[in-house]
Amino acid sequence: MRPDLWRSISLLSSTGAHTRLGRRSLLGLGAALTGSLALGPKQGNAEPSPASPPADAPWSQSIGPGVVDRPYGRPADTEAGVIRRNVPWLTAGTESSISFSPLQDLHGIITPNGLFFERYHAGRPDVDPEQHRLMIHGLVERPLLLSMKDIVRFPSVTRIHFIECPANGGMEWRAAQLNSLQFNHGMISCAEWTGVRLSTLLEEVGIKKEAKWVMVEGADGAHMNRSLPLDKCLDDCLVVYAQNGEALRPEQGYPLRLVVPGWEGNVSIKWLRRIKLGDKPWHSREETSKYTDLMPDGTSRGFTWLIDAKSVITFPCPEKPLDRPGLYEIRGLAWTGNGKVKRVDVSTDGGVNWQSARLHEPVLSKALTKFTIPWRWDGAPALLESRVIDETGYVQPTIAQLRKQRGTNSVYHNNSIQTWQVKGDGSVFDVQLG
């Protein structure tokens, strides 16, 4: 967030800037809107901003900035609070850390590129696409070096898939801790990806018959690497250069990343530079000391790639409380790494009774799915929950059911039902039920 933008927003609301803007000359108005600092504090006479009926608004009685005033568009200044956020106390620094998408302010199933959650292991590299190369080697017939131009020439595919960090919700294993939709669930985002099937590239280099595993590696300082079974690579993995219709953002791996649909986000290696085929997994640090799940008996599960079915109510939520009793639409998102969402049920009484919500098209495989259900809130305290069932019949568990199997120290893959407590005043809190 640029600090100057915050200043301009507070000025807009506190000094009636809109009214003054209406009196400005045409050229002056453009300058004021494009350069927020033009709204300096020296303009004194605070007056109400009667831009609502019956008054005609100042922006209705003036002319706005023209085309290419913002050659690359950006959100309205008043949306400045809709940003990725981090939990500063969670990690030693921001270079090996995570940020969370503001799910409470998003609509639909696509995450805007600037709000897609971030996970770095060595900060965000700024890669020169001219010099970037993808090397494919190991147990292959013809090791290859591909430039970005080469990669874009291959037959292209476009798919919508979510990416979720398996640590999403990881702070809640022990107890309810963070009173926030963004911080409890914001390590998930969903985009339309365009690129080439990994299978196309692997067929082009020729897979030797001994090859069973694939190591993928990034060009970042962590040289982040993971092992993947060859079968998954040939099934539905994509090597992508575009996200929601434009080039990948640097935060998402520009100029090239892997997308492993339905599997934990860290295997979707960003800034992808190397693919090596082998006969065994590599057991890299990121699949042994991290991204393994410690069980109560002291054993650990490794290679737990799948994202199990999960859902969450995105309205209401702690960030978006209820205003007053009346009719509301409960809204939420559901997803599963196992294919499509089949059904989402919603409870307003802490899981005693459930009603099936409406799923909104498109319902895509390994993508976010939107659900809604109308709810007349009578002003009484309520406990809201959603529960997804995916096309395999798997039912999203409660945190108690997960704890019974995995204890409280497994960090990853908490896909439990979220409970939101609605109080009589409409405020909403993150709670867990016994």
Three-class secondary structure of residue 418 per DSSP: coil
Site for another protein in 200-219 (CB under 8 A): 203-206, 215, 217
Which one, 161 or 342, has the nearer CB to another protein?
A: 342
- Among the listed ranges 109-117, 328-336, 346-354, 372-380, the one in contact with another protein (CB under 8 A) is 346-354
Q: Please give the Cα distance from 53 to 30 (Å, whole number).
A: 25
Cβ proximity to another protein, 21 vs 205, nearer residue: 205
Decide if residue 96 touches another protein (CB under 8 A): yes
What is the rounded CA–CA span in Å between residue 348 and residue 197? 43
Please say which residue, 47 or 297, places its beta carbon nearer to another protein.
297
How far, in Å, CA of 366 to CA of 340, rounded? Answer: 6
- 362: cis peptide before it, omega within 30°? yes
Nearer to another protein, 327 or 352 (CB): 352
Provide the token pair at 175: 């107890």
Total residues found in the chain within this entry: 434
Cβ at position 195, least distance to another protein in Å: 14
Residues 381 to 420 in contact with another protein, rule: CB under 8 A: 383, 387, 389, 394-398, 401-402, 405-406, 409, 413
Nearest approach, Cβ of residue 141 and another protein (Å): 5
Taking the C-alpha atoms of residue 418 and residue 387, their distance in angstroms, rounded to an integer, is: 9
Q: In whole angstroms, how close is the CB of 273 to another protein at the nearest point?
A: 7
Q: Closest distance between another protein and the C-beta of residue 277, in Å?
A: 12
Give, as ranges, the residues between 135 and 154 that touch another protein (CB under 8 A).
Answer: 135-137, 141-147, 150-151, 153-154
What minimum distance in Å lies between the beta carbon of 411 and another protein? 9
Q: Which of 335, 309, 313, 307 is nearest to 386 (CA)?
A: 313
Pick out residues in 275-304 that bind another protein (CB under 8 A). 276, 278, 280-285, 288-289, 292, 294, 296-304
Q: How far is the CB of 383 from another protein (least distance, A)?
A: 7
Among 89, 107, 131, 376, binds another protein (CB under 8 A): 89
Cβ–Cβ < 8 Å for 232, 161: no
* CB distance 386 to 345 below 8 Å: yes
Question: Taking the complex as a whole, how short is the minimal distance between the CB of residue 267 and another protein, in angstroms?
Answer: 13
234 binds another protein (CB under 8 A): no
Which residue lies nearer to another protein by CB, 29 or 202? Answer: 202
Tell me the sheet residues that pair with 217: 225, 274
Least distance from C-beta 99 to another protein, angstroms? 9
The three-state secondary structure class of 231 is helix
Q: Which residues contact 309 (CB under 8 A, 6 or more apart)?
A: 334, 335, 336, 337, 338, 341, 388, 389, 390, 394, 395, 396, 415
Which of the residues 156 through 195 are near another protein (CB under 8 A)?
Answer: 175-180, 182-183
- Distance, in Å, from the CA atom of 396 to the CA atom of 176, rounded to the nearest integer, reads 18
d(CA 108, CA 219): 32
Cβ proximity to another protein: between 21 and 313 the closer is 313
> Around Cβ 22, how many Cβ atoms within 10 Å?
17
Which string of x and - marks every residue 353-372 that binds another protein (by CB under 8 A)?
A: xxx-----------------
Q: Extract the runs of DSSP E, i.e. beta strands, from 46-156.
A: 97-98, 119-120, 134-138, 144-146
How many residues sit in the footprint of another protein (CB under 8 A)? 109
311 by DSSP, 3-state: which?
A: strand
The phi-psi region of residue 218 (left if phi > 0; otherwise alpha if psi is between -120 and 50; otherwise beta) is beta
- Tokens 């539905």, residue located: 236
Task: Write the interaction track for another protein spanning residues 5-44; mark x where CB under 8 A is met and - where it is not.
Answer: -x--------------------------------------
Residues 107-126 that bind another protein (CB under 8 A): 121-122
- Using CA atoms, how far apart are residues 215 and 274, in angstroms rounded to an integer? 8
Query: Nearer Cβ to another protein, position 23 or 283?
Result: 283
Q: Residue 224 Cβ, how far from another protein at the closest point, in Å?
A: 8
With binding defined as CB under 8 A, does residue 104 bind another protein?
Answer: yes
